[in-house]
Structure 1
Amino acid sequence: MLLKYKNFFSVLGLWIFFGCIIGITVGSATTFLLEANDYLGDDIRLKRDWLIFLLPFGGIIIGYIYMNYGKVFLNNALNDTAQLNNLVIEAVHGKNEVPRRMGPIVYLGTFITVLFGGSTGREGAAVQMGGSVAATVHKIFKVSKFDNKILLMSGISAGFGSAFGAPITGAVFGMEMTALGKLKFEALVPCLTASFSGHYVTTAAWGHKHEEFILQTVPEKSIITFLTVILLSVVFSLISIFYCQLRHGIQNFSEKFFKKNHMKRAFFGGIIIVVLTMIVGSQDYNGRGLQMLEQSFHEEVPPFAFLAKLIFTAVTLGSGFVGGEAIPLFFIGATLGNALHEFIDLPMSFLSALGLIAVFCGGANTPIAAFLLAMEMFDGKGLEYFFVACLVSYLFSGHHGLWPSQKIHEPKSRLYSIPRGETMEDVEKKKKS
């Protein structure tokens, strides 16, 4: 019995140790990412509109980096860092490995994208840095292949938790992101440790202040309000499908048309973004768009802002630029909710918050993490509405999502005739055939 408890506390201590190392490292790296993005996006790009014309050439640089330095042979298999978050997910499932250079490469690519006005976010870079750090810990401490999967989940948790100031969400996101219908609770301790460590390093040690989205008013509970929330959540889920399909459609077309030449793809994608920017007549939809995102919670924004951001982001990431997709999804959902305020008699900030969470949930296929994000982001207000919105958006978004490598451990409903064990990509291919 004594030996049993000794082994238990030995393993527990080891996971806490690994979680702390990953969290501290990723938290520090994420702080650098956030501060650099703020400086490049706000202090440099917004004051120099002409930088947008250099975006196509920035795409050439990104393409060159990924084509010449992003492909690594590990264990006699090619691991392409241009797969971005999909490579991290495949590594968790044991199909591939995350090269240690993945984090620095995606950071450099994200900085170039933000500086020249590509429409992108940041969690992708943070998650991939988390995977890169986890791979380094695996290499140094020589943990088993099975335990390496848990380290990778911890890296994902640390990246997300520190990037958004949401440590509880980050802990669950690391376990929920990789597969539908399955949570590996064995990874809870290292994921929780890594996420909280990363969060406190970012905020307390380095003093970074995250954006705040203020939910001013929550409507009174009523059957009519709940029915309205359900209907809106269906709409938000359909928007998430539209974004994912457009983004992947652009990627597949550009890869086929340019024969997977990353430099050409990104160059022409950059030209399209420049043309779209000139047509729109402003740079509100370039970069991260945090200013309009925050604005949507307290005053009206252009009614078709959500559609413009959707197109800008789909072209940016679909043509080979890099970054994250959570912030763009936040923007799309919040501004759509803001636009619907004209027709629905519910508080503006509530509709924006509902859209932000529901569109993210539908795209990421992480209902528990999305609900926890609403609780952390909006101080626990309106939990009943957000819980319903996450469930509805998750179910109605079907088997579509941001990451084709997500594995379907369990279909969302028996109404979907989807076999277990396949990936989102497999399902899409079967539909087309």
Structure 2
Amino acid sequence: MQKIFEQLSVTKHLLFWTLLAIPVSLTAGSLVALFLWLLDVVTRFRWEHAWLLYLLPLAGVVIHFLYKLWGKNSEAGNNLIMDEIHQPGGGVPARMAPLVLITTLITHLFGGSAGREGTAVQIGGSLASLLGKWFRLSKEDTRIILMMGIAAGFGAVFGTPLTGAIFALEVLAIGRIKYNALVPCLIASVFADIVCSAWGLHHTKYHIRIVTDFDFLLLGKIILGGVAFGLAGYVFALSSHSIKSFSNRLIKTHKWLIPVTGGCIVILLTFIAGTEDYLGLGVTASSPDGISIVNAFNENGVTSWSWLWKLVFTAVTLGTGFKGGEVTPLFFIGAALGNTIAMLTGAPVELFAGLGFIAVFAAATNTPIACTIMGVELFGSDYILYYAVACFTAYYFSGHSGIYTSQRLAVSKKDGATLED
């Protein structure tokens, strides 16, 4: 009889969270679809009007004052959502969703180098927080619905629902996954992806050809590549945080000068690089043979230093106050670095571009399991062992740093010691 009551309790629990997942997924999936459509519109508009780049410093001033006037604590972005999951308090403001959507579009319209994950996660998190307040959820349930918001936003924006669910659980603390929100996050992520796709949004398709059976020499190259991917993730996180910290120390008053300076630096970098391909999202380029994530999967599709150029462009953009995400630029950095490593070592270019794509992301976010699953969802399961080797190696060699300052350290990578209860 006790077992029957236990199963009934589990059924009630799952039904409760399934019902809550419906409004979270409908709203998050729909807003993410709107965001992706608008992002494509502003990107193509910028490609057709290159002069918009010269207004990037002014766009930074607009973003600064939008957050100063209406943003309040929402400027903390993903870190605010993570802090609320760790310790529910003031909540995540509903204004975060429209603010981050508008300011991310402004960033991309005028040529800032940024991504889209941060926007989608903040949309999902702020909407989930609002629903949590409406339903008067307890602190523990508030944590779960916020994690559902992260999963819904991430799963919808990349079309990777399983990755979205695991990412929401894994990103909170280095070295530890709590399974109390496993099924709710999966339900929210799957539903949000379905909703986003139902609006007619199509995600970029990637393909890695099966070129070889298991090969110890190739495995050795992948391990070395994993080290490079981990160091790249570490450098990106360090650069972004350092630029933000340095600019705030350097400019103590008139903070609007920080994005002005950042915008000017991006313009200067564009002249030095001799191309506009490092601006914006970077999934595709304005010309078919331009430098992009898609072309990184082709031989000679990028230059040997494309990964470093994108790293610098994005670190300056986000470190000086422009909005967007870090993840798509990390995909660019990783795919371009993987291409370079493959060309130098004679390894398969498509495979290494794909490995870099997921492994640099794993390093910078400390989410190796989610990124391994992402490899399966994006590229197929044929090379799952190689995905895991690259992501796990990169995870360790990125140290304890990461792009999210609110990510806690639960288990040390160095000695396995538990640091957080």
TM-score tier (shorter):
over 0.9
- In structure 1, the partner of 2:243 is 250
- CA displacement at 1:260 relative to structure 2: 7.1
Instruction: Give matches, 1:375-394, under 5 Å.
Output: 375-394=376-395
- In structure 2, the partner of 1:150 is 144
Preserved contact between residue 333 and residue 356 of structure 1 (Cα < 8 Å):
yes
Q: Deviations 1:90-128 (Å, cap 9, x if unpaired)? A: 111016521111111111110000000000010000000
d(CA) in 2 for partners of 1:217, 1:182: 33
d(CA) in 2 for partners of 1:361, 1:283: 27
- In structure 1, the partner of 2:299 is 299
Aligned to 1:290, the other structure's residue is in SS state: coil
Instruction: Please point out which of 174, 190, 201 is paired with 1:208.
Output: 201
What is the TM-score with the length of structure 1 in the denominator? Answer: 0.92
d(CA) in 1 for partners of 2:253, 2:367: 30
- In structure 1, the partner of 2:234 is 241
- In structure 2, the partner of 1:178 is 172
Aligned to 1:342, the other structure's residue is in SS state: helix
Instruction: Please point out which of 259, 262, 268 is paired with 1:266.
Output: 259
- CA displacement at 1:421 relative to structure 2: 3.1
- In structure 2, the partner of 1:31 is 33
- CA displacement at 1:190 relative to structure 2: 1.1
Question: Is 1:19 aligned with 2:21?
Answer: yes
- In structure 2, the partner of 1:401 is 402
Aligned to 1:412, the other structure's residue is in SS state: coil
- CA displacement at 1:5 relative to structure 2: 4.3
- In structure 1, the partner of 2:78 is 85
Aligned to 1:296, the other structure's residue is in SS state: helix
d(CA) in 1 for partners of 2:315, 2:237: 8
- In structure 1, the partner of 2:221 is 228
Aligned to 2:318, the other structure's residue is in SS state: helix
Instruction: Give matches, 1:34-433, under 5 Å.
Output: 34-42=36-44, 44-71=45-72, 80-94=73-87, 96=89, 97-203=91-197, 205-259=198-252, 262-291=255-284, 292-300=292-300, 301-414=302-415, 420-421=419-420
What is the TM-score with the length of structure 2 in the denominator? Answer: 0.94
- CA displacement at 1:8 relative to structure 2: 3.0
Consecutive aligned runs of 4 or more in structure 1 exceeding 6 Å deviation: none
- In structure 1, the partner of 2:288 is none
Q: Deviations 1:117-173 (Å, cap 9, x if unpaired)? A: 000010000000111011111111111011100001000000010000000101111
Which shows bigger deviation, 168-177 or 274-283?
Answer: 274-283
- CA displacement at 1:281 relative to structure 2: 2.1
Preserved contact between residue 337 and residue 348 of structure 1 (Cα < 8 Å):
yes
d(CA) in 2 for partners of 1:267, 1:380: 45
d(CA) in 1 for partners of 2:27, 2:190: 12
Aligned to 1:105, the other structure's residue is in SS state: helix
Preserved contact between residue 254 and residue 260 of structure 1 (Cα < 8 Å):
no
Name the aligned partner's letter for residue 29 of structure 1.
L
- CA displacement at 1:12 relative to structure 2: 1.5
> Which ranges in structure 1 are unaligned for 5 or more consecutive residues?
72-79, 423-433
Preserved contact between residue 67 and residue 262 of structure 1 (Cα < 8 Å):
no
d(CA) in 2 for partners of 1:218, 1:230: 18
d(CA) in 2 for partners of 1:61, 1:402: 25
d(CA) in 2 for partners of 1:259, 1:82: 18
d(CA) in 2 for partners of 1:128, 1:161: 13
The alignment covers a number of residue pairs equal to 410
Aligned-CA RMSD value = 1.5
d(CA) in 1 for partners of 2:318, 2:171: 19
